[in-house]
C-alpha cells in the first residue's frame, strides 16, 4: 500500500485551463457542508491539536485529495470523506485521520479489502483492521478509517491503536462482515485475502456482488468466489450469460457433477456451480491443481448449504 498520495503536475498553460474549466465545480464542492455524523467521530486526543481546519470531500471532489485512487472508492458508492490533520504539541509528530462514509458496511468492506494485503498485521479495531508501518486502517459500520502518522517512533502502534479505538467506539451503527465472507471454507484459505467486488466481477458487466478469497494448494494459489443474486432466477440468468460469454471466448464449458468446467488459452481452469441464488466457483486454477479445485468447489457448495459461523 502506498503511504503517499500522488499529485499530478500541470504545466502553466494546462493549469490555467484546468482552473478555468474546473473552478465552477470546485466552488460547488466547497459550498457543501460536511456531515455532522462524520465530525462526531473525530476524537479529542491529549497533547494533540488540529494543525488546520478539517476538510470534507464528496464524490465530485474526491479526486482533489486522492487523484489516482478516487475511481476505486467511487466504484463502491463512496459518499463523503472527512480529513483531519493533527500535530503533537512540542514535537514534529503528525497524524492524518481520514474517515470515509461508504454508505453501507458491505461497501466499507469492499474498499477495505481492496487495500488490504495478506501480509498486513491484523489489529482488533472495528470489525477488521490492520497496521502497516506508520499507518493503521480499519472498518467500522459503514465507515472506512485510515490513519497515517509520521515521527511517532516506538509509540506508533500504540498511539494509532488508541486513536482508532476512540473513533470505532464513537460509531453508533455498528456493522458486521458480509455473510458470504464467513462462508468461505477455512481449509487452505489465505488469511486476510477475502474481498468484495461490487461491479464487473471477472471483468463481466453482468456479474456483480462477488466475493473472492485466495486458497493455496501444493504451494500454488487459486481463488474461490461467491456471486450473490437477488433470486434463483437471477442467479441462473447470470450463469447462462457467463457460460455464453465463455463459449464466445473459445472456453467452451463442459458439464461436471457440480456445475461446469472450462480452461482458457493460458492454462487456467474455471469451475462454476450454483446453490439457490448464489453462484460459486474456483478460478485462476493453474494446470495441475484440477483435483484440488474440484475439492474446493465441493466444499463451497457444501458450505452454502449450512449457516455461516463466526471467525
DSSP state of 136: E
Spatial contact of 139 and 108, defined as CB atoms under 8 Å apart: yes
φ, ψ for residue 167, nearest 5 deg? -65, -45
Q: What is the pLDDT of residue 307?
A: 58
Q: What is the pLDDT along the chain (311 residues), one digit of tens a residue?
A: 334 343 333 333 443 333 333 344 444 445 688 999 999 999 999 889 999 999 999 999 999 999 889 999 999 999 999 999 999 999 999 999 999 999 999 999 999 999 999 999 999 999 999 999 999 999 999 999 999 999 999 999 999 999 999 999 999 998 889 999 999 999 999 999 999 999 999 999 999 999 999 999 999 999 999 999 999 999 999 999 999 999 999 999 999 999 999 999 999 999 999 999 999 999 999 999 999 999 999 999 999 987 544 44
What is the set of domains in the chain, with CATH numbers? 12-170 (3.40.1000), 179-304 (3.40.1000.20)
Q: Which residues, at least 6 apart from 228, have a Cβ–Cβ distance to it below 8 Å?
A: 180, 209, 210, 211, 277, 278
Question: To the nearest 5 percent, what fractions of the chain are helix, strand and coil?
Answer: 30, 30, 40
CA distance 69 to 24: 23
Give the pLDDT of residue 31. 63
Per-residue pLDDT at 16 = 33
Q: Are 57 and 79 in contact (CB under 8 A)?
A: no
How many C-beta atoms surround the C-beta of residue 190 within 10 A? Answer: 13
> Which 3 state secondary structure label does DSSP give 19?
helix
Q: What is the pTM (predicted TM-score) of this model?
A: 0.86
**Exposed e or buried b per residue across 17-51, where buried means at least 16 C-beta atoms within 10 angstroms of its C-beta:** eeeeeeeeeeeebeeeebbebbeebbbeeeebeee
Amino acid at each position: 500500500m502506498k503511504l503517499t498520495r500522488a499529485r499530478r503536475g500541470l504545466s502553466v498553460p494546462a493549469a490555467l485551463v484546468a482552473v478555468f474549466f474546473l473552478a465552477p465545480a470546485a466552488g460547488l464542492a466547497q459550498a457543501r457542508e460536511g456531515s455532522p455524523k462524520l465530525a462526531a467521530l473525530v476524537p479529542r486526543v491529549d497533547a494533540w491539536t488540529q494543525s488546520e481546519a478539517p476538510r470534507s470531500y464528496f464524490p465530485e471532489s474526491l479526486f482533489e485529495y486522492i487523484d489516482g485512487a478516487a475511481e476505486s472508492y467511487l466504484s463502491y458508492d463512496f459518499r463523503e470523506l472527512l480529513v483531519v490533520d493533527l500535530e503533537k504539541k512540542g514535537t514534529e509528530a503528525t497524524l492524518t485521520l481520514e474517515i470515509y462514509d461508504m454508505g453501507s458496511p458491505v461497501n466499507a468492506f469492499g474498499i477495505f479489502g481492496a487495500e488490504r494485503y495478506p501480509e498486513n498485521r491484523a489489529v482488533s479495531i472495528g470489525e477488521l483492521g490492520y497496521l502497516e508501518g506508520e499507518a493503521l486502517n480499519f472498518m467500522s459500520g459503514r465507515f472506512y478509517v485510515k490513519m497515517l502518522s509520521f515521527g511517532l517512533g516506538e509509540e506508533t502502534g500504540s498511539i494509532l491503536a488508541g486513536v482508532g479505538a476512540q473513533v470505532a467506539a464513537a460509531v453508533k451503527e455498528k456493522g458486521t462482515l458480509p455473510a458470504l465472507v464467513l462462508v468461505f471454507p477455512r481449509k487452505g484459505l489465505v488469511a486476510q485475502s477475502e474481498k468484495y467486488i461490487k461491479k464487473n466481477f471477472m471483468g463481466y458487466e453482468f456479474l456483480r456482488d462477488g466475493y473472492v478469497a485466495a486458497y493455496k494448494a501444493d504451494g500454488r494459489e487459486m481463488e474461490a468466489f461467491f456471486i450473490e443474486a437477488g433470486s434463483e432466477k437471477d442467479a441462473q440468468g447470470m450463469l447462462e450469460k457467463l457460460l455464453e460469454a465463455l463459449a464466445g471466448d473459445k472456453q467452451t464449458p463442459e458439464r461436471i457433477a457440480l456445475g461446469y468446467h472450462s480452461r482458457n488459452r493460458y492454462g487456467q481452469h474455471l469451475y462454476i456451480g450454483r446453490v439457490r441464488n448464489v453462484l460459486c466457483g474456483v478460478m485462476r486454477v493453474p494446470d495441475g491443481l484440477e483435483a484440488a479445485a474440484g475439492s474446493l468447489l465441493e466444499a463451497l457448495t457444501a458450505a452454502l448449504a449450512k449457516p455461516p459461523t463466526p471467525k
